[in-house]
Amino acid sequence: MSGITLTISLGGMPVDKMKQNDEGKTCPPATQDIDLNLENRKEAIDEYDYGPLNPGLDDSGQNDDFWMKIANEFNTNVEAALESRCANCAAFNITSDMQDCIAKGIGDDGSDPYDAIDAGDIGYCQFLKFKCASQRVCNAWVSGGPIDDESQSASEKDIL
């Protein structure tokens, strides 16, 4: 017996494996499981140089070693490397659906999870499968992001 497999992608990015939660919504497992998220985040740091630890120190020069390393990996200069962030990476998913998933995973024990998302400027990395922050980067960065509601809608139109 033969069958057809349909793979849907967002702007060329394969949609992550989804896990159904209590409300019937599907979300990437790492958005719902903090241990899995931390495991994947550690791999992003160890294997893909995800950082810097505190992007707020960029202007002080304290992150220069980090950005020099990223610049070397991208074969460019520090000024260009500083323009490459999760925020404009093709793997950075900040769609409303994904923010709902992240909020659901954080929970609302007394505080609004969307405030935490906004404060950290958090999205979901489709490549490395963890919650990452817009002002960081890793050496798997690819231009063309982020994946947002607008690009998702355009992508869905492309395949219909």
Q: Which 3 state secondary structure label does DSSP give 143?
A: strand
- Residue selected from 10, 70, 91, 106 as contacting ligand SF4 according to rule CB under 6 A: 91
- Closer CB to ligand SF4, residue 7 or residue 143? 143
> Which secondary structure element, helix H or strand E, spans residue 10, and what is its range?
strand 9-10
Find out whether 141 and 84 touch, Cβ atoms under 8 Å. yes
Tell me: does residue 138 bind ligand SF4 (CB under 6 A).
yes
Tell me: does residue 82 bind ligand SF4 (CB under 6 A).
no
Residue written as token pair 């992240």: 102
Rounded to the nearest 10°, the torsion over CA 33, 86, 117, 157 is -90
Tell me: does residue 122 bind ligand SF4 (CB under 6 A).
no
Tell me: does residue 67 bind ligand SF4 (CB under 6 A).
no
Which residue stretch of 20-28, 75-83, 110-118, 126-134 sits at the interface with ligand SF4 (rule: CB under 6 A)?
126-134
- Residue selected from 86, 103, 106, 117 as contacting ligand SF4 according to rule CB under 6 A: 86
Which residue stretch of 55-63, 75-83, 103-111, 138-146 sits at the interface with ligand SF4 (rule: CB under 6 A)?
138-146
The site string for ligand SF4 over 29-48 (x = CB under 6 A, - otherwise) reads ---------------x----
Q: What number of chain residues touch ligand SF4 (CB under 6 A)?
A: 14
Quote the least distance from Cβ 55 to ligand SF4, whole Å: 12
- Residue selected from 89, 101, 117, 147 as contacting ligand SF4 according to rule CB under 6 A: 89
139 Cβ neighbours under 8 A, 6+ residues apart:
48, 49, 70, 73, 74
Query: With b meaning 16 or more CB within 10 Å and e meaning fewer, what string describes 103-123?
Result: bbbbeeeeeebeeebeeebbb
